[in-house]
Structure formats: C-alpha cells, structure tokens
Amino acid sequence: MSTQFPGLSLPIVQIRSFFDIQKDISAMDTINNNLKKLESLRQDELDRHQDKLDELQRELDNFRTSITDLKNDQKSKDVKEELLKLEDLIFTVAKHLTSLNMELNALKLKHNQDLVKLEDLQNKLSDLEQTSVESDTSKNVSERSKALKLKLYESLGLKLDFENKQILVLNKKSQKTNVLSLDQGYDEMFVSEYIWDNI
C-alpha cells in the first residue's frame, strides 16, 4: 500500500518521481549559499550603521566640549550666538542619533531572525543530505527525505500542487503568488532559479 501525505492527492511513490535527490540537494546548497551571502550583506550594513553611530557620537561630544569652552570664555562677544547654534546642532545630531539607534536595533533584530532561519534551513539541509545517503538501503528513509523536503519547501513559501502539476510560489515581500507549471518541461536548474528569484 502506497504512503500518502495529508493534503496531497498523490501517493509518496508518485511524488518521488518529481524529484532527483542529488539535484535537489545541489539546489538546496545554492539556497544555503545565497542565505549566507545575505547574512554577510546584513552584517556589513550593521557595521556601516555602527560606524556612523560612533561618528555622530564623537561629533556630539565635540559640540559639548565646544559649549563648555565657550561658556568659560567671557571675552567672546559672540558666545551667546554660538551657544544657540551649537545647541541647535546638538538637537539635530541627537535626533539623528536616536533615529539611527532605532534603525540599528531593527536591523539587529532582523539579522538575528535571519540567523535563526538560516540555522533551521541548514539543519533541514543536513537532514536531507543524511537521508539521501541512506536512501539506497531504506525505502522508509527515502520517504522521510521526501517529507523533509516538502516541509523545507513550505517553509520557503512554496506549495506543491501535484494534482494540477504546478508549484505555487509565495513572494513574501509582495504577498503575491506566482504559479509555475510542471507540464512545460523546464529543467531543474530553471525551476530552482525561478523559485529562488520569486520567494
């Protein structure tokens, strides 16, 4: 008796015909590498914001030092005017500093969320690789590999519609669903790149 997954109309033995384990693992590796590049870009962005934050903090400290010096210089005729200008500058810099701090905290939060997501994907990839190595000796392990792969696809925003032979790709940014028909004879490299470009 063939095994079926809840919500899928085809038995697992037919679902297996849609996949090539080694090519799919290669596609997963591509996704993994792209996620690592995204992590690196986000880290660079965090570093740039931190540098800007440090620069503004130094500028703020210099303004405060200038105010103190002007207050101690009673001979200057323009002390009051300069103080007002410096106070305005301090207000502007402090406002910008607060805005940058909020943006930096938001970036750090998003970065940490991406790291958790990346770790989860890496764990799932590791499971897929392990099950693919053992798939030649165990039918149950092969079926488990398919189930893990389906869960991985769903976590990326994909839904496999085997009844209509199509893949539904949810673009999380635009909240739009793109449909890729499996009847068109696309090769797996095209399918992988299409999915990656649209998730």
Which pair of tokens denotes residue 69?
């010096």
Alpha helices, H only, the chain? 12-15, 21-72, 79-134, 139-155, 188-198
pLDDT of residue 39: 79
Ranges 51-65, 131-145, 178-192, most confident: 51-65
Rounded to the nearest 5°, which phi and psi values hold at 30? -60, -45
Q: Quick check: 100 pLDDT over 80?
A: yes
pLDDT of residue 1: 45
Report the Cα 101 to chain-centroid distance in Å. Answer: 21
pLDDT of residue 4: 47
Using a 10 angstrom Cβ sphere, with 0-12 exposed, 13-18 middle and 19 or more buried, the burial of residue 158 is middle
pLDDT of residue 129: 63
Average pLDDT, the chain: 72
Ranges 38-52, 157-171, 184-198, most confident: 38-52
Q: Is 160 helix (H, G, I), strand (E, B) or coil?
A: strand
pLDDT of residue 5: 46
Rounded to the nearest 5°, which phi and psi values hold at 158? -110, 150
110 has which bridge partners?
none
Mean pLDDT of 166-171: 78
pLDDT of residue 46: 83
Q: Quick check: 123 pLDDT over 60?
A: yes
pLDDT of residue 145: 58
d(CA 32, CA 115): 12
pLDDT of residue 2: 44
Relative orientation angle of helices 79-134 and 139-155, to the nearest 10 degrees = 160
- Look up residue 10 and give its DSSP letter: S
pLDDT of residue 76: 60
Span 38-89, pLDDT tens digits:
778 888 888 888 888 888 888 888 888 887 777 666 556 666 777 778 888 8
Report the Cα 27 to chain-centroid distance in Å. Answer: 17
Question: Within 13 Å of residue 11, how many CA atoms lie on the same side as its CB?
Answer: 4
Q: What type of residue sits at position 135?
A: S
d(CA 87, CA 137): 75
Please choose, from the candidates 137, 117, 143, the residue with its C-alpha nearest in 3D space to the C-alpha of residue 34.
Answer: 117
d(CA 145, CA 36): 24
Question: What's the pTM?
Answer: 0.34
**CATH for 157-199, options being 1.10.40.60, 3.40.50.720, 3.30.160.430, 3.40.50.300:** 3.30.160.430
